[in-house]
């Protein structure tokens, strides 16, 4: 049949059961399968933690939620089935509806398949025409070239995806390592600061004890001098009541001592 010649039926058949892909379901990778066939493959996805499975043809992973209905493929299958059930209709399609002749030529200007009588008609006169077999061959070659080019682009995309995934993993590891390094160094700094804090506080405590002891010692010394002054003042006030003879005959030397006695200041403490 003409379908076999153009290899259309093979292109729209399910790769698993080799039947026409009715109720077609397409995966992320672009391959399509009959719903019943891919449902068997999805049993793996049902027990998978992420609900994922792999394409039976290329092995690319896909999610159950990303299956989509390929209506375009279903429409092609329906047309093929119609032609298989109506071979006379298919035969009529190879004949010119105006002249009943075999459609052997392709008009480039009008992009129509015509017969040899159409080529000589006023409608197509002067147009470039080619044999259908040649045009089909050229189209198939162009399609194959386009497919090959797109496959190469797909391979590039897959390689870039792999490279980016690897780079992402590498960056994630580097950032985790850097995060751990920062935490370790700051913990060390905290330990150093804590130790330095304890040392400075200990030094301050020692300085506090020394200063307060010096101040307490100076305070005690001033208290003693104050008491001595009080006693001197008391003695002098008592002697002021003596008689002239007693004052002149006083040999205690208290007058001399009172005249030369001065306050002895305690050691000063630095304000630093």
Q: Each residue of 24-71: pLDDT tens digit? A: 777 778 787 777 777 766 555 454 556 677 788 787 877 766 777 777
Q: Which residues of 114-140 are buried (b: 16+ CB within 10 A; e: fewer)?
A: bbeebeeeeebeeeebeebeebeeeee
How far does Cα 265 stand from its chain's mean position? 74
**pLDDT, tens digit, for every residue of 137-171?**
888 999 999 999 999 999 999 999 999 999 999 99
CA-based angle 121:122:125, to the nearest 5? 80
Give dist(CA 84, CA 12) in Å, integer. Answer: 14
Per-residue pLDDT reduced to its tens digit, 205-259: 999 999 999 999 989 999 998 998 898 888 888 888 888 887 777 777 787 888 8
**Residue 114, Ramachandran bin (φ over 0: left; ψ between -120 and 50: alpha; else beta):** beta
Question: What are the angstrom distances between the C-alpha of 159 and each of 29, 52, 150, 156?
Answer: 15, 21, 14, 5
Residue 81 CB contacts under 8 Å (≥ 6 apart), including other chains: 20
pLDDT at 91 over 80: no
- CA–CA gap between residue 136 and residue 142 (Å, rounded): 10
């Amino acid at each position: 049949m003409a379908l076999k010649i153009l290899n259309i039926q093979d292109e729209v058949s399910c790769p698993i059961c080799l039947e026409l892909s009715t109720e077609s379901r397409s995966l992320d990778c672009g391959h399509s399968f009959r719903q019943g066939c891919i449902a068997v493959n999805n049993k793996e996805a049902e027990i998978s933690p992420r609900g994922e499975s792999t394409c039976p043809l290329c092995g690319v992973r896909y999610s159950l939620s990303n299956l989509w209905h390929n209506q375009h493929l279903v429409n092609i299958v329906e047309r093929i089935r119609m032609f298989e059930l109506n071979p006379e209709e298919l035969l009529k399609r190879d004949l010119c509806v105006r002249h009943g002749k075999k459609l052997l030529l392709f008009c480039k200007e009008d992009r129509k398949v015509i017969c040899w009588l159409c080529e000589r008609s006023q409608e197509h006169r002067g147009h470039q025409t080619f044999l259908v077999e040649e045009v089909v061959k050229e189209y198939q070659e162009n399609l194959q070239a386009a497919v090959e080019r797109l496959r190469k682009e797909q391979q590039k995309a897959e390689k870039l995806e792999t490279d980016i995934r690897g780079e992402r993993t590498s960056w994630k590891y580097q950032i985790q390592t850097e995060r751990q390094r920062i935490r370790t160094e700051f913990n060390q700094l905290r330990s150093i600061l804590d130790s330095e804090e304890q040392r400075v506080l200990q030094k301050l405590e020692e300085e506090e004890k020394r200063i307060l002891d010096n101040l307490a010692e100076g305070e005690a010394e001033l208290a003693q001098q104050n008491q001595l002054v009080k006693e001197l003042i008391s003695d002098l006030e008592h002697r002021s009541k003596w008689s002239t003879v007693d004052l002149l005959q006083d040999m205690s030397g208290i007058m001399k001592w009172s005249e030369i006695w001065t306050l002895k200041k305690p050691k000063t403490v630095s304000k630093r």
